[in-house]
């Protein structure tokens, strides 16, 4: 589609070289031909007026008029009295390659139990617009500069109070670094640890094997799996790996949903203190707990040994790309330096909008609403499974917005997923989260954060027979 300039004359890059023997008119004509043939000027696109192009190029208006007239005669341009000169549609018909076909859309699913996706429809659009207006009205001019690579001081001050109040963290604004999502936060922390000599990084199994291995490989470290049981990560097995850093999800283990027990918490902290090691805490959905108050951050137990990474991706939406790293005092400067080296800091205006939401109480109000929504969807999933697949146990329902379905022995995880897809239901197996990719024992990770209750019930009813013992 050609650009329409709403009354303004379009600018056009057509350099002329006065040191060449070719006349300026010849250079201008050939420059326009190449721009049209190469697709830089699209059919129907308006050219500058002869007066404006002449002034821009420093040539006479008559020269531009003669050039336009020649290209009209050749069929590259067309002009009508009282109207702008435009690129003719025939000018690029044989020169510009056809655009690639649009990607084929995946078939629409009646229920997609994708995990890790919050309720996108619940994003508080009205509150977000209000917060943005407040920021624009009151932001000092100085805050519109690049600023501190740690992030907006205002957000870091608000986060300090919030994390102390809600997560039991022990921090201050100078030890918080704002980043673009959990992945960037993890990459920054691993880079800083690798610079200090850490060569082996452990991760939970099941957990995020591909992401952990890729992130570790990029900093020249080895990633090793450590088993998770009903109490959380096996600290004795961790000690046997020789790792000096470990990535954990203690408040709601991904993906099993177990909570790291108090005994294991103290064992993990003791391991870090004794080995001079570090814990990377993924505090990804701790606000969403239904059976009791959220479990406090592990960082509060050992501020000198824990990097705690929180994010707005689950509490608001992933599109914000906003997260924060709570750093040990010994690593705060290095993390801030690495963040500044990568991109000079995250977008300040979005940071200020989040800070405004938190200060106003609207953020807490949004969390209360979404917590109720997730609790209702969690209950709908449990009731649908009880009604249609009573032999399938569900675990991990105490928090977050996913659950684990324990399929009966003899049921093939891969076959269930494929058969469900044929019925337009999206299912996802535990095997993708195991370090060895094993499909046994068969498990499904059922995300319900972005699914209405009706879709949850319909989806489970549609695939109920696939979940039963063959």
Task: Quick: pLDDT tens for 45-58.
Answer: 888 888 888 888 88
Mean pLDDT within 335-339: 97
| Residue 293: predicted pLDDT | 66
Helices vs strands, H then E, count in the chain:
14, 15
| Residue 105: predicted pLDDT | 74
Task: Quick: pLDDT tens for 271-311.
Answer: 999 999 999 999 887 777 766 666 789 999 999 999 999 99
Evaluate whether 428 touches 402 at the Cβ level (below 8 Å).
no
Task: Quick: pLDDT tens for 31-80.
Answer: 888 888 888 888 888 888 888 888 888 889 999 889 988 988 988 998 87
Residue 202 to residues 104, 190, 227, 262, 326: CA-CA distances in angstroms?
39, 11, 10, 20, 20
Confidence of residue 106 (pLDDT cuts 50, 70, 90): confident
**Helix intervals (H) in 389-434:** 413-422
| Residue 91: predicted pLDDT | 46
Mean pLDDT within 149-160: 97
Per-domain residue ranges of the chain: 24-91, 111-117+365-467, 124-363
Q: Which of 396, 397, 368 is nearest to 380 (CA)?
A: 397
15-24, 81-90, 121-130, range with greatest mean pLDDT: 121-130
Phi-psi region of 462 (alpha: psi -120 to 50; beta: other; left: phi over 0): alpha
* Weakest mean pLDDT among 165-179, 279-293, 384-398: 279-293
Evaluate whether 367 touches 171 at the Cβ level (below 8 Å).
no
Is domain 24-91 given the CATH code 1.10.10.10 in the classification? yes
Indicate whether 100 pLDDT > 90: no
Classified by CATH at the fold level, domain 111-117+365-467 comes out as: 3.90.1150
Whole-model pTM: value is 0.83
Matching fold, domains 111-117+365-467 and 124-363? no
Nearby residues of 428 by Cβ (< 8 Å), 6 or more positions away: 113, 114, 115, 417, 444, 445, 446, 447
Residue 99 to residues 38, 39, 103: CA-CA distances in angstroms?
13, 11, 12
Confidence of residue 10 (pLDDT cuts 50, 70, 90): low
Domain range 124-363, CATH class: alpha beta
Residue 279: DSSP 8-state: E
Task: Quick: pLDDT tens for 429-456.
Answer: 999 999 999 999 999 999 999 999 999 9
């Amino acid at each position: 589609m050609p650009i329409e300039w709403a009354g303004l004359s379009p600018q056009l890059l057509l350099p002329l070289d006065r040191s060449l023997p070719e006349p300026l008119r010849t250079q201008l004509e050939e420059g326009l031909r190449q721009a049209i043939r190469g697709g830089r000027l699209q059919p129907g696109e308006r050219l500058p007026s002869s007066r404006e192009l002449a002034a821009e190029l420093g040539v006479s208006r008559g020269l531009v008029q003669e050039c336009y007239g020649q290209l009209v005669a050749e069929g590259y341009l067309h002009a009508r009295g009282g109207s702008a000169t435009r690129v003719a549609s025939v000018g690029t018909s044989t020169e510009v390659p056809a655009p690639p076909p649009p990607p084929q859309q995946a078939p629409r699913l009646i229920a997609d139990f994708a995990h890790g996706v919050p309720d996108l429809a619940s994003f508080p659009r009205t509150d977000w617009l209000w917060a943005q207006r407040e920021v624009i009205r009151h932001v000092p001019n100085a805050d519109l500069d690049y600023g501190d690579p740690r992030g907006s001081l205002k957000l870091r001050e608000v986060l300090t109070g919030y994390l102390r109040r809600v997560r039991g963290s022990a921090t201050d604004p100078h030890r918080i670094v704002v980043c673009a999502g959990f992945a960037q936060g993890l990459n920054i922390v691993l880079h800083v640890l690798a610079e200090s000599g850490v060569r082996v990084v452990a991760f939970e199994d099941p957990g995020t094997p591909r992401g952990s291995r890729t992130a570790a490989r990029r900093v020249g470290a080895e990633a090793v799996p450590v088993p998770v049981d009903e109490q959380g990560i096996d600290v004795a097995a961790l000690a046997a790996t020789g790792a000096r850093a470990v990535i954990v999800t203690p408040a709601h283990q991904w993906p099993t949903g177990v909570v790291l027990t108090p005994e294991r918490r103290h064992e993990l902290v003791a391991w870090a203190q004794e080995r001079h090691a570090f814990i990377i805490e993924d505090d990804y959905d701790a606000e969403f707990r239904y059976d009791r108050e959220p479990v406090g951050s592990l960082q509060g137990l050992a501020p000198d040994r824990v990097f705690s990474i929180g994010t707005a991706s689950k509490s608001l939406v992933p599109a914000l790309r906003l997260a924060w790293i709570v750093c040990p005092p010994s690593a705060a400067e290095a993390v801030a330096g690495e963040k500044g080296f990568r991109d000079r800091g995250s977008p300040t205006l979005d940071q200020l909008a989040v800070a405004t939401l938190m200060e106003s109480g609207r953020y807490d109000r949004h969390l209360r609403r979404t917590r109720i929504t997730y609790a209702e969807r969690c209950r709908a999933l449990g009731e649908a499974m009880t009604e249609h697949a009573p032999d399938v146990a569900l675990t991990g329902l105490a928090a977050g917005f996913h659950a684990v379905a324990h399929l009966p022995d003899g049921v093939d995880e891969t076959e269930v997923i494929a058969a469900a897809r044929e019925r337009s239901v999206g299912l996802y197996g535990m095997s993708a989260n195991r370090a060895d990719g094993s499909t046994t024992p068969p498990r499904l990770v059922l995300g319900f954060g972005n699914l209405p209750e009706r879709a949850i019930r319909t989806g489970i009813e549609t695939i109920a027979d696939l979940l039963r013992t063959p």
